[in-house]
Every structure is written in structure tokens, then in C-alpha cells.
Chains A and B, each alone.
Chain A
């Protein structure tokens, strides 16, 4: 079974440019998460989807960040315009709500460098 797939793995952009990240969760997982992880620190939740609905976006900086999960499967996270402080690893995770377990499965992440 394929794990959570993210692309690109690395992205280098200049400040003020837009950038987008893509995530394909594990097949059948109805919950999808986007996290931000700074170097050596724990992930911080940006947004959580239940199917196609964003049920927790309280930590998403909505002035520049947006996300969508139109068909309840894969998802994109966009930053426009990017700032120097956005340099981090963006992790996507998924889980299956009905299994009784709340284990989250993480993708490898996209490392963003803003110059």
C-alpha cells in the first residue's frame, strides 16, 4: 500500500513569489492534515480536512495561505506571496476516522526555502 505522497520534495523560491504543495493521502483515509515544521521542532497543525470540509483552520494564516481538497482526496496548500519566514518543511498526513485508532500517517514533506 502506497503511503502519503507529497510533491515537490524541495522548492526554492524568491520572496513574494507564489508556491503550491500537493498531497495525495493514503487511499481511503478521510482525514487529511497539513503541518508546518521548523528545523528541529515538532510539527504545528495548519489545517485539517474531514473529506472535503476544512474542520480546523484556526492556525492557518489566511492572509497568504490557502488550501483546498475539492474531491475529498488529494489536497493542495498554497502560499501567496511567500515570505522569508515561511521557510520550513510542510508535512501532509492522513488518517482513517472509522478505525478506532487515531494514528496519523505522514508524508516525507516538502522543504521550502524562501530567499
Chain B
């Protein structure tokens, strides 16, 4: 059961366009992480947002954590072919009893940017 739903599932755009990927859940998370995964490689962490309403920018990428810490969005400005990949959100459930964490990954958004 995927607790984190991402939309859209697929996105194919031209270089220079803007796009937004959404990550939604009915559950509250301690933090929300965004990963990018390229073919044949493992996911690589892009950013972690912790506070409800938090906005972080990474060059052309803007990440926002929902006020209630149940959802997040990733906005890419002026997409480039190098942005192509599978984007994954992951919600962190902090397990206070043993000070560890559990990451629950979203369903993924496959982005293709054409030159």
C-alpha cells in the first residue's frame, strides 16, 4: 500500500518549460525528502524539508512542504534535458522508541525533458 501518491505519473515536456510535481498523503510525516533517480542508478537525495510550510530552493528547483506536513510539491523552472529522471518523494516516519526512521516512498514521477 502506497501512502504517498505522486502526480503526474509521467511528464514529457520541452526544454524551457516549467513543471510541478505533487506528493500527497493523508498521513503526517516528520520530514519529506525528494530524490531523483536516473536509469541504472539508485535514488539520490535532492532536499529534505522538515517544517510545515517550509520552502527550499536548489537552483531551478523549488520544494515546498505543506502546512500540515502531509503533502509536498516540487517545481522546476525552465526545465533542461539534464533534469530527466524519476522523481521520488519520501515521507519520514520517526520511530521515537528506538530513535530510528522509516522512509515511505511515493509512487514516482517520470520526467522526460526534450531538447
Chain A contact residues, CB within 8 Å of chain B: 4, 9, 31, 40-45, 48, 50, 55-56, 91, 93, 97, 101-109
Contacts and interface: CB of A to CB of B under 8 A. Distances in A.
B interface: dominant SS: strand
Interface stretch (B58-66, B72-80, B95-103): B95-103
Given A40-B108, A106-B43, 4 more contacts: A43-B105, A50-B98, A102-B94, A104-B103
Given A42-B88, A55-B100, A56-B102, A106 B44 contact: yes
Contacts of A102: 31, 48, 92, 94, 101, 103
A103 B101 CA distance: 10
A42 B105 contact: yes
Contacts of B40: 9, 108-109
B42 interface: yes
A43, A50, A91 interface centre (most CB from chain B within 10 Å):
A43
Contact of A108 (B2, B42, B101): B42
- In the A-B complex, the 8 residue pairs with the closest CB atoms: A106-B42, A42-B105, A102-B101, A42-B108, A43-B105, A42-B88, A106-B43, A42-B106
A50 B100 contact: yes
Interface residues of B, number: 28
29 contacts: A4-B42, A31-B100, A40-B86, A40-B110, A41-B107, A42-B2, A42-B88, A42-B106, A42-B107, A42-B108, A43-B105, A44-B105, A45-B103, A48-B102, A50-B98, A55-B100, A97-B99, A97-B100, A102-B31, A102-B92, A103-B33, A103-B48, A104-B45, A106-B43, A108-B40, A108-B41, A108-B42, A109-B41, A109-B42
A93 B92 CA distance: 15
A2 to B, nearest CB: 14
Given A42-B88, A42-B90, A55-B100, A93 B42 contact: yes
B13 to A, nearest CB: 18
Contacts of B4: 42
